[in-house]
Each structure stands twice: as structure tokens, then as C-alpha cells.
Structure 1
Amino acid sequence: MPTHPTQQRSTFSGERPGVQQAEATLMEHYPRLVRLAYLVLPPSLGRHRRVLAAHATVQRALPGARAAPEAPAPASVPAQTRGAAHGPARDDGGTEYVWMRLRVLRAALAHERRPRWWPGRLPPPAALRPSLPAVWGLRLFPRAGGASELALDQALAAVPGAVRAAFALRLLEGLDGPEAQALLARAGAPDAAGAVRAAGDLGGADRARAGSLLRSGEFDPCVLQTRPSDLLRRRHRIRAVSATAAFCAVAGGLVAVAAEGTPDTSPVSRGVRNAYAPALDPAALLRTAAEQWADTSRIDFTAWPARGDRTDDPALLGRALRSWGGDQDGAEVSHTPGTVTVAPAQPPQLLYAGEVDGAAVVLFHDRGVRVVRYAEPLSGSGRPALDFARTDDADVTTGAALVVSRDGNRARFLLAPWISRTTTRDLLAPDSPARALRVAPDGVTAAVPRPSPGALCDAWPVLQLRSSERIVENHAFLLTDLGDLAPVHLTFTPKPAGGAPARQPREATGTPALLAWAHTACSMATLRGSGVRAVNNWEFAEQRLPQAGAPARWLCTRADTWQGPGRVLVQFLTPGLAPTAPGAVVADERDTARCSRFGQHVLAGTRWRAPSGQWYVLAAGSRAVKRIEASGSVQGVAVGRTLAVRAPRDAPVELTALLEEGGSLTAVGLPRRGTVG
């Protein structure tokens, strides 16, 4: 939608404009009004019906020859001027536009207040007129956006229409809070003040970005894509209408209503009664050429070819797509956090279809946003499974494998076509060499052990893969199974070297990395099923211990999720620790940027008992820390990146650090009671 120049706001008098004035206003601001109606209308209508309802709502807003005048607006919202610095520029469009906008808003909000028994395709009782436009034989829907637009659409679908209306009025119409509240109240919205407050929580802190998303093609019902409606379903309806024509002549309008509510029993269209139907046609599935991965600059799931011995089985593919599209009766559905489970807006990409471990398995990739796995048992009465996982911004490593089958404590993986060598190793045996792993011609590996899900952690199997030199990567990397469809990429950041630039994460295949992971691998058990994308072990400090004199190491283990938020565990490795003994977890923090490229400074502390029995408070910081101070019941200052001060075991203490550039830093965490000895 174009941005209009800022003008003096006009106070709405409530006087109904003439028909010609209203028509001129509608023609000038039609896309703007239709977008507003589309955003307010219930998403449960489906995108096709929602598009038609938005256009119908705006067109029915024209005043009739005998329309009753609107109630005058309250005088509590004065005209005022808004500069560009105060919010989005806005053109009120004159009193005629303000009047039309109120009519559109009132009608759109009324859709959500219909009785549940009211026929879904008819307007509410207050607007019983012919609902135009009418479309026969086509499905209409706006152009699909990206992951951000999809996430915003899901957020809007989860709130009432009044909140969606307040959100649109604030970001698209440029109204401030009191103005939006007054307009919603006049449109009949319940709890207008609460709706405006709730709208402030949508879209995150970046209001400008949220406004740009609302102006994208995802929410523009005037720029549409078309697909044919379900042809077999249409044929069945034509036959049904012909067979009941005589009864229609007698029963009249009753038959029209009954026919609208007749359930569709067509096996092709069962569960696909919305605008997503064209995307669920097996014939429309996208397939990538077998060698495209070697001749593209985008190395991710889009470069995977379709593999497996059932890629040309339309019956299997159709069942998988219908299950994804909503026909999930009896299916076991799972998804990683932050993954939407709605049907695809466009035909997905086929990655695999074949038989593995007694099940027919299909893997799809949806527009760079997620992967979907469908599995149905080949025999017996077991239920199908439908699993969803986010995979946006996957790359050579995070897009290198997918779990194709899990059977007990073993799993098989489908590997990316650019994997040239496949081995396995045990993180708790860092000195043992990697072992070769057999891979079938269709890219499915032999079954490999999974990390034990129980409390016992006596092994941690991982895949060690090497990418092909054909994509000028040719490096080895580690992946581990944490219970999601996409295995987790493991990396390592070595301790800082004196005078050297800050180290960057690297592949965890070298000796220092494997030794560090031997101490910290078992801590990943708490990350299972949480949608983790990658885990990095950062050895951020080394500290000489008092009395003992031997060095201890501080590690920050950071898990990044596909959603973005991360979790960090700070672990303290005392000298003399057995090669595979777990480190002491001294801090655990969620939803933080610490230990990432956006949180490169870290300070941590713990209590430690010396061989003499004396307790100390220990602290260490990353390379930019130049001074550490302990306060509270324990007082101490150390110049440099480490601190050790005597303290009673249970003494309360706070740790802060001063950075070289002048900022300050608080500790990740300090347990109340120390047990490191």
C-alpha cells in the first residue's frame, strides 16, 4: 500500500455522504479498505472465502438510498497533526473515507459474532444481501510470503478480530491508541481498550517491520493467485444438483442451505476444503534435478533430489499430502517448537519416498521453512506418524541429513547429495578413530546407535560427515541426534590465545574439540526435542587454582534453536578430571544471546573447595574482561580475567566485570551452594 503524505486529521462528523461521494471514495481507496477487511475477517473462513468476503464487505459498505445515518462520533478525539517522527504517515482520505472505513470495520467484526449455527458462506443476519463477488470453479488466495509473513499470519489467527483490527488500525491506518480505541468502540468491538493493548504485543518490538509485513502480498487480497477448484468435487456436486432438481423445485431454499452443509465424501478432497488444495496434489510436487547441488550457490534442502523407490507412487504421496493438509484422523502428530503445522500454501518439494524399517516414509520440504515426515506402517494396525521441523536458513551442515527412521535406540538418516564420506564416532571415546558407515544408493544410512535417552550416559554416538570437493567445501563436521527430524551440528571455539584475534567457531573434529566434547556431551541430554539447530562448545577461559596451582578450564556450551533463542550451560572443568567425566554445570540460562556472535562477552563464577578444605569463590571472564569484582558478603577485586577469593561456602556474593571498551558485565549465574571440589 502506498504511503500517503501526512495531512491534518479531520474530525469525523458522522454525516452520511452521498452515494456518488461514497463511490468515488471507494474507488480511490478500494485496495486500502479491502486489505483492512481481510485482516479483520476470521482466518477460519479459509483464504479463498476470506478474500471474497473482504471484497464483498467493502462493496456492501456503499450507502443505499435509504440507509440510516451513522451515529455521530464522540467529541473526545480532537483533530491533531502528526509529524513523520511520531509514526507512519497517514492520509485520512477525508470524512467520506472515515465514514466508509467505519462501515467496513463494523461489518468485518460482525463476522466473528455470528451464531455458531449460522451457515458459513452467508453474511451475518444484519447484512442479508447478495454476497458479491461470486466465483465458480476457481480458488483465489493472496501471494504467499516468507517465514516472517507466515509467522505473523499465525499470530493474527490466534487473537480475536478486535485485536486484529486494532493492529491494522495502528500500523496501516496510522492511528494512535486512543483513536483506534474510539473507532473500535464505535464499530461495536467488545473491550476496545483491551484489544488495543493486546495489539501492542503483536509483531514484536520492531513496529516498522511488522507494518511492512502487513503491506506485503501475503495480506493483499487485491493481488491474487488462482487455481482450479477440486474438479472431482465439482463434478460430484453437479451430479448431486441434477439428481435433486425435482426436490429443489418443491423444497426451494431449504435444499440450498442443506446442500451447502452436505459433507464431501470424495476420497480426493476429504480434509482439503480450503485454498491449500492445489498444493496437495501429488502431480504438482516439486522435484530437483539429481545433479543440481553441484551447480548452485544455494546448498540447502532445495538442492536435494527426490530419492527412494516410491517417488512415483501417487497413492502414497496422496495419503501423505492429505494427512498434511488436515486429514490427520488417527495420525500421531509431532512438531518441534516454533514449527507451524498448517498445510502448505504452494506445492512442496519431494525429498524422499520409500520403505524403511517396515514403514513407508515420505519426506517433504516446504519453501525453505520446514521439513515434514510422513510414515505409515506397511503391516499391522499401527497409526501413521506426521512430524514437522523448522529448517529455515539451513546450510551445508545443518541441511546435510534428516532422520528417516527411528527404531528403538537406533536411527537411519537420509544424507544430502553433497556428502562424500560418512563415518560415526563416540564423543565419550575421543581417542577412538571414526568408523565407516554404509550408505545405500538412495542416500539412506545403515542403522546407527542413538544417544541413550535415559539417565545413563555411557556413550554419545555422532555422525562425522565430509562434504564433497565439488562444492569447494570438502571439510568434515559432526552431527548428533537430539530427537528432532534434523540432527544437530556440533562446533568448537578454542580458548583465546594471547594477542591473537578472537577465535571463531570451527568444526568439532580436532583433538582439542573432541576432548572438550568428551566432558560436555552428556549435558546435551537436557536439549532433546527442543528444536536445537547447533551446539557450540566455547572454552572461554583458563584459570590457575589457588593452593593447587593447576589450571582449570571454563566452557560455555551454547545451544541455538531454529527459532533463534538460545540456551547456555557454563561448565567448570577441574584439573585431573577423567577424560570422559562430565564437567560441573555452574550456570544454566535460557533465552539469551550470551556466548554467541551477538553476545561475545561472558562472566561466570562458582564456589570451589581447595584440597585443604578451604572454600573459594572463583570467577572467570572472556577475552574482553579486564577487571572482576566480588561484592556482598564477600569482597574482592582482581585485575585481569580471573578472580579467586576466600569465602564461606554459603556466603552470598555478586560478581561484576569491567570490559576493555568501558562497559560492564554481570555473571551468568552463581549457585547458592558450591559442590565443586
Structure 2
Amino acid sequence: MQSQDVAQSATPSSPAGPVIGVEQAEAALVEHYPRLVRLAYLVLPAPAGRSRRVLGAHGLVQRALPRGRTPAPLIPAQQAGRDGDPGYALVRLQVVRTALKRGARAERWARLTPPLPRVWGLKLYPRPGGADELALDQRLSALSGPARAAHALRGLERLPDGDVRRVLTAAGVTDVEGALAEADGIPEPYRLLGSCEFDPCSLTARPTDLLRRRRHLKAALVGGAALAVCGTLLGLPGDGWGADGAAAPPYARNPAAQAALDPGRLTRVAPAVWKTSARTDFSVWPARGDRTGDRALLRRALAVWARPGKSVRVSATPGTPAGGPAGPPQLLYAGTVDTARVVILYDGLRVVRYAEPEDGTEGAALDFARADGAGRAGSGAVVLSRADGNVRYLTAPWVRGAGERDLREPGSGAMALTLVDGVTSPLASPALREGPCTSWNVLRLTDGTGARLLTDLGELVPARLTAGPPGSPQDVSGAKALRTWAPYACSLGAMRSAGVRSVNAWAFAEQPLPGVRRAAEWVCTRAETWRGGGARVLAQFHTPGARYGAVAAKAESVPACGKREPRVLAGVLWKSATDGWYLLAAGSRGTASVSATGGVEGTARGNLLSVRAEKGARADLEGRLENGRSISGLR
């Protein structure tokens, strides 16, 4: 999450500066366009993903021109070719100001891309750098927006701290000294800012998901037909259902839909059914909470589900339909939590959460999460509320104990949480945390069959954490699994709001480091989604003594590291303290040989490769499995 210390309105440029015309500003923008786009790319938040971040950087630079004659800021340029150019200083200030506003709205920015520029059918992202660049990108993504801006202005623009303060103040930053102090935490801060890793003007192009595009086209055609039918129904006579709380006005009479909105027809499961049922999932959860008999609240929740009004905030995990219930759903919870009235319902496919303030229905929220095929492990808990940086869960009836532990600290124990009618006491949520990742708190549940860890990724159903080979992952409960996860816990931040069902960490190789009597660890983390497709895979490289693992490669919608393709090959550029740069590559067990071609040439028998390389070199990796099949390096 990004820091919220950017003011709502930017401070205007000083009237004491010269007046800049749009022509002069355009000339500066065109001449220095690559540098301005790189600056915007560095300041923008990471949750949007590299492709959207590239388009966003180009978009906000292209919209940085003033609308007329504007006073120039009193911050000069500091590089040859820009020194004394007030047009450049004006455009640069506008770029920083707009990028910080985007950062202050990071959650919405992660879902929305500016309308222009737009590239259909292609993913564009900068060329990948080495391990140092990847580590720097991770560190920058953990900073607040103003701290990233301070770092970029110092390193890329070579501005002294006095000018950096003036730029940030003019851009609307309220805590300038805090931003500078936070930026001081980046080691060897500026030597990598000119790398191709941060160059959104030198791009790699790949196609988007072709099958998903085909499905979306079909869905659009079906949606158009449905809209036409709804338009016809809107013109039909009749009084409709009547408005309910924050629900939209009624549109047509439908006996089946009316039955789905009747609180008296809600399915309610007895408390002990789960003990004898053949299924152990959300379908056997009993109805709990102090408002299960509040028919007015239940009616409002059902009505808003069927037709949410304009004031209702609606969210759904990717791949989850947001339509109304087909029939009477099952009631899981209705009660007062913190300062809200909350209702949780289940229709066999989705878990739905309705929340409204205690003092009315204005500001109601409706959340959807897909939960089909959850099973015992996937239906251990749902998010009941998030407030003040904390989260409360409603746990399954078979859960006997709950605790909170820091995934970053494998040696620390779990702190017990109280359970009252299945509701946990509040625990810190990593999905709500701002600033650098120094801890990652997870929920630990015990149910008589063992212990498992769940993590909040900003959605209704928490994700299950596992460790081990893809064919036989185990819950993270033992010391070895906890040690495996510790360096990679913060990488879970890249998987927020993606509909993640479970995340597995698999230590697939250890590799001796050249000139060092220690070995580095290769770990593959794979996030499976509730919709089946769209899995996210990260190959991470962890050197001895490092607190965090570095992302060496990442991919989406690939079978690598999964049950169907339990193989992986990845490489990274690594710098020895005494012996220069190396290309290090590792394959999973069963890899007979590894070869590198392109910018680095080399072949090794077995699953490990170590070849001398130049800084910034690029190579293509290919492995040969023991069964003769080939495998390509993960990108």
C-alpha cells in the first residue's frame, strides 16, 4: 500500500517565476521525453503491474502540458541541456505532482489504466535487468510515493536536497522531511536508475492471454444481449419490488427473484451438521451472529445483492460473477462487527458480504468472492471486517483455535486470538499496511487435523499458504516450511486482489556461489486462483544473509511450478564481491543439463549453471530433462 501523505490539492507554482507558454513547455517535453517518462515510471506505485505502469507513465507525461501561459516554478534543471530551462522544470513538476496523486490512490490505480495511450492485444514492459535491479525495484516498491519521488529526483535529476524539498512541496507533499529520510534507506542509491529495468521507452512486447480475449469477446456479446433484454423489461408495466435500503429501484416482477429476496426462505444449517456431513465446506456452516433474526437487515442485504444502488461500493475477485442470487442463498452470519452491521451469504458458488454503517445504509458495501470447490482447507475462514489496519475473521465451525504469527520471523511463536461464536479478535492485516514491508502477519488455524496458515490478500476469502513440491504441497506448520517462507513473505504483496486461492513456496534448488563457501537458495512461489487460470509464478533467488529474496523471473498463466508441470528453470545475474559478474541458473530436480545462449554462452551438466558474464547481459536459458524433453527458462 502507498503512503497517503500527498495533499489533495497541489501547491501552485510560484508567481515570481517567468511565465511559460505551452509551446515552450511542449518543446521541453518532446526534447526530454525519455527522461520524463523514466521519472514517472520510478514514482508510480508498483501494484498496477509493469505493463500498466509503462502505459501510465507515458500517459501522464503526455498530459503534463499546461493549458495556457503558466508561471514557472523556482526549481531549475540541473543537467546539461536542461539547465535554466523553466519549461522543463514546469513539465517535470507536473509529472511528479500527477504521479504522486496516482500513488495516493494506489488501490484504484491498480485496477484502472488511463484511457490513453492504449495498446490492444499486447503487454509492454521494460527489458529485465539483473539481480541488483530487481532488488532495487522491490525496495522502491516498498517506499511511499513521496520517498520514491525524492529518490528519483536526487538520483535521476541530480537535484540537491534543497531543490528536492521545493519540488515535493510544490507537488503537494506534506511531510517532505519524512520522504527524504525514508529515501535515505536505499543502499548504493543512484547507480542503477539508468538501467534498462527502469526504461519505459525501451520495451519488450508479448501478447495478452489469447484464450481469455476470446472468452471476453463472447462474454461481451452475451452481455449485450442481456442488456437488450433488460431494456425491454424496464419498459414493462407493474409496481416492481420496492426499494430496500441502498438497493437500486425495482425493475420488473419475477416470482423466482422475489423468492430469492425473501429472508424467510434463507437456508439455515444446524450447528452440528458439519460433524456428520459428507462435505466439509461453506455449505455446512451454521448461521451465526447476533442479528440472524433481523429480517429488515437480511432483506436489505438480499435486495442490494440483487440490484446494488449507485451509492453501494461493489467489489468482486477476478472471475467472480456479480449478479444476484438464482434462488434463496444460505445465511452464514448476520451481526454487528466493530461499527458496522454485516451479513455473509453463500450460494454454492460465491461467498457474498454485505456491510452497512450502524447509523444507516449510506455507504453500504457489497463484496463477492468465488468459493466453489473450497473443501475443508479452503473454507476455514472468511473476512468479517477490516478497520484501523486490522482484520477480523469468521472461522469454520470445526476450527478449535486461532492465532496470529509473523511469517517473516519463523522462530517466533503464534499469539493466541480469542474466538467468540467463530469470530476472531482483530489481528494486523498486511493488506492494509502502508510503508515498507517489515512483517507479514498471517492467521493460524487449528482444527483437530493439523494447523494451517491463511493470509489476507485484500479479498473476502483469505489465501492458504503451503510449502513443498507441487505434486504434494503441505500446510505451513513445521519449522522447515516456516524457514522456507520467511525470505519471501513480502512477495505476497504482488498477489493482492488477484482472486488467489492458495500460494505454494517450493525450494527447488541450492546453488554454490562462485568464490564463496556458501550456497544460494532458489524458490518458486506459485499462486493458484479460484477461477483456475491466471496463476502467478515468481522464481526467487536468496543469497545467504540477505533478509529478502530477489525476484529473478515472473510469469502469469503458465504451468511451471504447478501440479501439471512440476518443473522450472530460472536464471539471474549475480555480482561477486571479488570476482565480477556471473550468470547463475538453476533447474528443478530431474534437469540433466542447462544451456545459456545470446549475451552469455555456456553449458553445464546437471541442474546448475554458473558462467562469467558482463553487467546487463541478457541470455536465453534452455534445459534438458532426464527424459529428453526440453524446458525453457522462466521469464
> Paired residue for 2:407?
427
Structure 2 residues not aligned, in runs of 5+: 1-213, 227-232
Q: Secondary structure at the match of 2:376?
A: coil
Please tell me whether the aligned partners of residues 238 and 252 of structure 2 are also in contact (alpha carbons under 8 angstroms). Answer: no
CA 1:364–1:648: 2 relative to 1, 3 Å: same
CA 1:467–1:160: 2 relative to 1, 3 Å: closer
**Of 477, 483, 491, which residue of structure 2 is paired with 1:523?**
491
Cα displacement (A) at 1:517: 1.6
Q: Is 1:443 the equivalent of 2:422?
A: yes
> Paired residue for 1:570?
539
Query: Could you give the per-residue CA deviations for residues 538-587 of structure 1, whole angstroms, max 9, x where no partner exists?
Result: 1011111121131111000111111112001111011232xxx1101111
Please tell me whether the aligned partners of residues 271 and 326 of structure 1 are also in contact (alpha carbons under 8 angstroms). Answer: no
**Of 605, 614, 623, which residue of structure 2 is paired with 1:648?**
614
> Paired residue for 2:162?
none
1:369-518 aligned within 5 A: 369-379=349-359, 382-440=362-420, 442-451=421-430, 452-468=432-448, 474-493=449-468, 504-518=472-486
Greater Cα shift, 453-462 or 310-319: 453-462
* TM-score (ref. length: structure 2): 0.61
Q: Is 1:545 the equivalent of 2:513?
A: yes
CA 1:322–1:509: 2 relative to 1, 3 Å: same
> Paired residue for 1:332?
313
Cα displacement (A) at 1:654: 1.2
* TM-score (ref. length: structure 1): 0.58
> Paired residue for 1:589?
555
Could you say which structure has the greater relative contact order, defined with CA pairs below 8 angstroms and 6 or more residues apart?
Answer: 2
Q: Secondary structure at the match of 1:522?
A: helix
Q: Is 1:158 the equivalent of 2:127?
A: no
Query: Could you give the per-residue CA deviations for residues 455-501 of structure 1, whole angstroms, max 9, x where no partner exists?
Result: 41111111111113xxxxx110000111100011001116xxxxxxx
> Paired residue for 2:290?
309
CA 1:485–1:271: 2 relative to 1, 3 Å: farther
Tell me the distance in 2 between the aligned counterparts of 1:595 and 1:613: 32
* Code of the aligned partner of 2:451: A
> Paired residue for 1:667?
633
Cα displacement (A) at 1:651: 2.6
Please tell me whether the aligned partners of residues 272 and 326 of structure 1 are also in contact (alpha carbons under 8 angstroms). Answer: no
Q: Secondary structure at the match of 1:397?
A: helix
Tell me the distance in 1 between the aligned counterparts of 2:478 and 2:235: 69
Tell me the distance in 1 between the aligned counterparts of 2:572 and 2:629: 23
Query: Could you give the per-residue CA deviations for residues 19-75 of structure 1, whole angstroms, max 9, x where no partner exists?
Result: xxxxxxxxxxxxxxxxxxxxxxxxxxxxxxxxxxxxxxxxxxxxxxxxxxxxxxxxx
Tell me the distance in 1 between the aligned counterparts of 2:442 and 2:401: 14
Tell me the distance in 2 between the aligned counterparts of 1:425 and 1:371: 26
**Of 517, 521, 524, which residue of structure 2 is paired with 1:556?**
524
Q: Secondary structure at the match of 1:379?
A: coil
Larger Rg: 1
* Code of the aligned partner of 1:531: G
Tell me the distance in 2 between the aligned counterparts of 1:428 and 1:356: 29
Alignment RMSD: 2.5
Q: Secondary structure at the match of 1:406?
A: strand
Tell me the distance in 1 between the aligned counterparts of 2:489 and 2:223: 47
Cα displacement (A) at 1:287: 1.1
Cα displacement (A) at 1:381: 6.9
Q: Secondary structure at the match of 1:276?
A: helix
Please tell me whether the aligned partners of residues 548 and 611 of structure 1 are also in contact (alpha carbons under 8 angstroms). Answer: no
> Paired residue for 2:13?
none
Cα displacement (A) at 1:650: 2.4
* Code of the aligned partner of 1:318: R
State how many pairs are aligned: 409
Please tell me whether the aligned partners of residues 402 and 486 of structure 1 are also in contact (alpha carbons under 8 angstroms). Answer: yes
Tell me the distance in 2 between the aligned counterparts of 1:541 and 1:589: 19
Cα displacement (A) at 1:608: 0.8
Cα displacement (A) at 1:633: 3.3
Q: Secondary structure at the match of 2:292?
A: coil
1:106-505 aligned within 5 A: 158-159=220-221, 260-261=236-237, 264=240, 266-267=242-243, 270=250, 273-274=253-254, 275-367=256-348, 369-379=349-359, 382-440=362-420, 442-451=421-430, 452-468=432-448, 474-493=449-468, 504-505=472-473
Tell me the distance in 2 between the aligned counterparts of 1:547 and 1:413: 49
Cα displacement (A) at 1:322: 0.4
CA 1:628–1:157: 2 relative to 1, 3 Å: closer
CA 1:260–1:538: 2 relative to 1, 3 Å: closer
Please tell me whether the aligned partners of residues 621 and 641 of structure 1 are also in contact (alpha carbons under 8 angstroms). Answer: yes
Tell me the distance in 2 between the aligned counterparts of 1:516 and 1:327: 44
Tell me the distance in 2 between the aligned counterparts of 1:450 and 1:298: 30
Cα displacement (A) at 1:162: 11
Q: Secondary structure at the match of 2:419?
A: coil
* Code of the aligned partner of 1:359: A
CA 1:654–1:323: 2 relative to 1, 3 Å: same
Please tell me whether the aligned partners of residues 657 and 665 of structure 1 are also in contact (alpha carbons under 8 angstroms). Answer: yes
Tell me the distance in 2 between the aligned counterparts of 1:259 and 1:536: 52
CA 1:265–1:402: 2 relative to 1, 3 Å: closer
Cα displacement (A) at 1:530: 1.3
Sequence identity, in percent? 45
Please tell me whether the aligned partners of residues 402 and 413 of structure 1 are also in contact (alpha carbons under 8 angstroms). Answer: yes
Query: Could you give the per-residue CA deviations for residues 402-443 of structure 1, whole angstroms, max 9, x where no partner exists?
Result: 001111200110000010111111112211111110011x21
